[in-house]
C-alpha cells in the first residue's frame, strides 16, 4: 500500500515521537489513508495487535438473523483482534451498517469520513468525526493513532488530541476510560442490531449513577432500576474505569466503588477487561484470558453484574413494554447475574434462534364448554407476571383461583399470593415474567391446551352418524390470517384411512398444512358455520379426499374480508 503525504505535513511528521514512528504500520494512520469494506485486512491495528479499527463484516450464522445477507453488511467498529472468530466489538460508529465497497478516509479537515456509494444516489457521507473546540479542536488533523488501550485518537500538528473514541462511547468502557456528567452508555437493541436499545447507563448532573429503561415506542418517563451515589455528599463529577479493572465514582471528597475487580482472579497483564451495558440491561464487569485463544477457556466471564437480579429489579409499566426476556416469557438470573429466558408450557420462542425474543402461544383458547374441557392449568412456583393482571379476586383460595381462570376465556394465567390470599387473573400479552426465590409467596398457574383430553370431549353430531374431533391451532398466512387446521378424521369410528390412532393414552396425529385457496374450496367459501369463539368463527369443510375438517378464521381477517367484498 502506498501512502501519499502532503508536503505541508512533512515537517509535522518529522516531529512525531519515535515510539509512534516505530508503530507506523501497527498504530499510525497518516492523512489520506483509506479502508474499503470488503477488502482483505480492511482495518488498522494497535501496536500490540490487541485491537483493530475498521470494517467488521457481520457474518451469516445461526446467531445473526437481523440482516438480509444476500448483500454483505459491514460495521465500522473497534474490536479485540486476538479473540478469534467470536469478535467482541467495544465501539462502533453511530450509524447503520454499510454495504461492501464503502470507504473510510482520514482527511485533514474533518478527520474520519465514512462514505457509501450507489448507482441511485452516488457518493454519500453517512458518518464523520465532529472536531469541536471542546475537544481541543481548532487545528487541522495531522494523523490518527490506534492505541493499545483500544482508543482511536486523532491528533493535530501540535500532537494534541482533537477527537477520540473514548469520548464517544457506545455500550462499552475499557480500562483507563472515563465518563463525565452527561455521558451515556447505550445498550444495543439485540446481539445483532447495533442501534441504541432500551437501556442507558449514565452519570446524572445531580451526581447519581443511573441505570434506566427507556421505551423505544413512546416518550414516557424512563424507569430507573438501579441507582448509585444517592446522598453521597460532595459533588460527583466523573466515573473512572481504572487500569486494574475497578469501576468507581469520583466526587469532590470521596470515591465510591461501583464494581471491583478481583486481584486473586484477574491480572491486567494476563486478562482483557471491559464494562458493558448488555442488550438485556445488565451492566457487567467481565474478563477474558489473553492467552489460550484457541481453547474453550477463551470466553468472557462476569466478575460483577449490576443489578444482581434484573428479572426482579426491573418492572416495566405495561404501556412501555416488558422486561429483558420479552412478552409471555419467564426471566431467571444465572449465578453471574445474566438473565436467562424460557417459555412456559404451551408456548414457544418467537425467534427460535433468540431466547430473548419473547414467546407465543402454540394454541388458541376456545370459548365454549368443549374448549374449556381441552384446557389444563400448569403450576409454576415462585413465578409472577406483574403488570399483566386485569382482575383481582379477594379473598380467594388456591384452587378457586385456578378454576376461576380456567373457566374465563380472557384469562391465561392465575397468580395466587399465599401471604394475603389474593388471586390475580392475567391476560395476554404477559409482561415482566420472572422466577425468583424472592417470590416464595407466589404461585402462577398457566393455561395450556392438553391434547390428552381430546378423547374425553363429547361433540354432538349434526345430521351425521360420526363425530368430528379436532384441535385448532395457527400458522401465519398472508400476514393477517392465522390458520392451522389440525384434522382428526371422522374415520376414527369407521374409515380405513385413519388420521388418528388411539393406543392406550397416546394420540398419534397426521398433520397437513392447507393453502387459503384449498380451505376456501373445502368450506365452499366459508359457508356452513359450526360455532363462534372470542377470536373468530369456525366453519365446516371437506377435503378432496372426503375428510371432514373445521377451519377457524380470525376476527380481524373477517372484518377485512367483508369490507373488501362491499361494492364501491
- Interatomic CA distance for residues 188 and 89, integer angstroms: 11
3 state SS of 316: coil
- Interatomic CA distance for residues 80 and 56, integer angstroms: 11
Tell me whether residue 332 is annotated as binding.
no
- Interatomic CA distance for residues 124 and 98, integer angstroms: 11
Query: Beta-carbon neighbour count of residue 546 at 10 Å?
Result: 11
DSSP string over 148-175: TTS-EEEEETT--EEEEGGGS-SSEE-T
Strand partners, 164: 153
Query: Which residue, chain included where needed, has cell 380451505?
Result: 519
CB 412 within 8 A of CB 391: no
- Interatomic CA distance for residues 42 and 32, integer angstroms: 15
3 state SS of 309: coil
- Interatomic CA distance for residues 330 and 426, integer angstroms: 14
DSSP string over 414-465: EEEETTTTEEEEE-SSP-S-EE-GGGTTEEEEEEEE-GGGGGG-----SSSS
- Interatomic CA distance for residues 370 and 538, integer angstroms: 13
3 state SS of 513: coil
- With a CB cutoff of 8 Å and minimum separation 6, the contacts of 112 are 104, 105, 106, 127, 128, 129, 144, 154, 163
Strand partners, 448: 376
Q: Distance of CA 392 to CAs 53, 416, 432, Å?
A: 56, 10, 18
Phi, psi of 402 (to 5 degrees): -65, -45
DSSP single-letter state for residue 195: S
Q: Distance of CA 77 to CAs 37, 169, 186, 502, Å?
A: 12, 11, 15, 59
- With a CB cutoff of 8 Å and minimum separation 6, the contacts of 288 are 80, 83, 88, 271, 272, 298, 299, 300, 301
CB 287 within 8 A of CB 270: no
- Interatomic CA distance for residues 393 and 411, integer angstroms: 13
- Interatomic CA distance for residues 520 and 481, integer angstroms: 13
CB 112 within 8 A of CB 129: yes
Query: Beta-carbon neighbour count of residue 418 at 10 Å?
Result: 12
Which residue ranges make up the annotated binding site for ATP? Answer: 552
Which residue ranges make up the annotated binding site? Answer: 552
Amino acid at each position: 500500500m502506498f501512502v501519499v503525504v502532503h508536503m505541508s505535513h512533512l515537517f509535522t511528521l518529522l516531529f512525531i515521537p519515535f515510539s509512534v514512528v516505530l508503530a507506523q504500520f501497527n498504530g499510525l494512520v497518516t492523512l489520506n489513508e483509506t479502508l474499503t469494506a470488503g477488502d482483505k485486512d480492511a482495518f488498522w491495528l494497535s501496536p500490540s495487535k490487541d485491537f483493530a479499527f475498521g470494517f467488521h463484516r457481520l457474518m451469516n450464522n445461526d446467531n445473526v438473523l437481523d440482516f438480509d445477507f444476500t448483500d454483505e453488511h459491514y460495521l465500522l467498529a473497534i474490536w479485540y483482534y486476538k479473540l478469534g472468530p467470536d469478535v467482541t466489538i467495544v465501539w462502533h460508529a453511530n450509524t447503520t451498517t454499510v454495504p461492501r465497497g464503502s470507504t473510510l478516509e482520514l482527511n485533514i479537515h474533518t478527520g474520519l469520513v465514512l462514505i457509501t456509494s450507489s448507482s441511485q444516489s452516488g457518493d454519500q457521507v453517512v458518518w464523520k468525526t465532529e472536531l469541536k473546540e471542546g475537544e481541543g479542536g481548532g487545528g487541522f488533523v495531522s494523523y490518527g493513532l490506534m492505541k493499545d488501550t483500544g482508543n482511536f485518537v486523532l491528533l493535530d500538528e501540535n500532537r494534541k488530541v482533537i477527537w477520540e473514541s473514548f469520548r464517544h462511547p457506545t455500550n462499552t468502557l475499557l480500562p483507563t476510560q472515563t465518563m463525565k456528567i452527561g455521558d451515556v452508555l447505550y445498550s444495543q437493541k439485540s446481539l445483532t442490531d447495533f442501534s441504541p436499545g432500551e437501556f442507558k447507563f449514565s452519570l446524572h448532573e445531580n451526581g447519581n449513577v443511573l441505570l434506566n429503561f427507556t421505551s423505544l415506542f413512546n416518550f414516557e418517563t424512563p424507569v430507573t432500576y438501579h441507582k448509585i451515589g444517592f446522598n453521597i455528599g460532595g459533588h460527583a463529577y466523573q466515573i473512572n474505569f481504572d487500569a486494574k479493572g475497578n469501576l468507581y465514582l469520583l466526587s469532590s471528597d470521596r470515591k465510591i466503588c461501583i464494581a471491583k475487580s478481583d486481584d486473586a482472579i484477574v491480572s491486567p497483564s494476563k486478562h482483557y477487561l471491559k464494562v458493558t451495558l448488555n442488550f438485556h440491561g445488565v451492566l457487567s464487569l467481565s474478563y477474558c484470558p489473553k492467552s489460550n485463544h484457541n481453547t474453550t477457556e477463551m470466553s468472557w466471564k462476569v466478575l460483577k453484574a449490576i443489578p444482581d437480579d434484573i428479572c426482579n429489579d426491573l418492572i416495566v409499566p405495561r404501556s412501555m413494554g416488558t422486561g429483558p426476556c420479552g412478552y409471555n416469557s419467564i426471566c431467571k438470573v444465572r449465578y453471574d447475574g445474566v438473565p436467562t429466558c424460557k417459555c412456559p408450557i404451551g408456548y414457544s420462542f418467537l425467534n427460535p434462534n433468540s431466547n430473548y425474543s419473547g414467546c407465543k402461544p402454540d394454541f388458541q383458547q376456545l370459548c365454549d364448554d368443549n374448549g374449556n374441557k381441552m384446557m389444563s392449568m400448569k403450576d409454576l412456583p415462585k413465578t409472577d407476571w406483574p403488570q399483566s393482571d386485569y382482575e383481582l379476586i379477594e379473598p380467594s383460595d388456591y384452587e378457586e383461583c385456578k378454576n376461576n381462570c380456567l373457566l374465563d376465556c380472557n384469562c391465561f394465567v392465575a397468580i395466587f399470593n399465599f401471604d394475603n390470599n389474593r388471586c390475580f387473573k392475567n391476560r395476554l400479552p404477559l409482561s415482566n415474567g420472572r422466577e425468583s426465590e424472592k417470590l416464595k409467596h407466589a404461585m402462577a398457574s398457566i393455561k395450556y391446551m392438553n391434547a390428552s383430553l381430546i378423547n374425553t370431549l363429547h361433540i354432538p353430531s349434526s345430521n351425521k352418524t360420526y363425530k368430528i374431533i379436532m384441535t385448532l391451532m395457527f400458522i401465519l398466512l398472508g400476514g393477517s390470517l392465522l390458520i392451522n387446521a389440525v384434522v382428526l378424521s371422522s374415520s376414527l369410528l369407521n374409515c380405513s384411512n385413519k388420521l388418528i390412532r388411539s393406543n392406550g393414552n397416546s394420540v398419534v396425529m397426521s398433520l397437513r398444512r392447507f393453502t387459503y385457496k384449498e380451505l376456501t374450496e373445502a368450506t365452499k367459501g366459508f359457508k356452513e358455520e359450526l360455532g363462534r369463539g372470542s377470536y373468530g368463527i369456525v366453519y365446516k369443510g371437506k377435503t378432496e379426499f372426503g375428510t371432514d375438517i373445521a377451519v377457524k378464521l380470525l376476527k380481524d381477517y373477517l372484518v377485512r374480508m367483508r369490507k373488501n367484498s362491499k361494492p364501491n
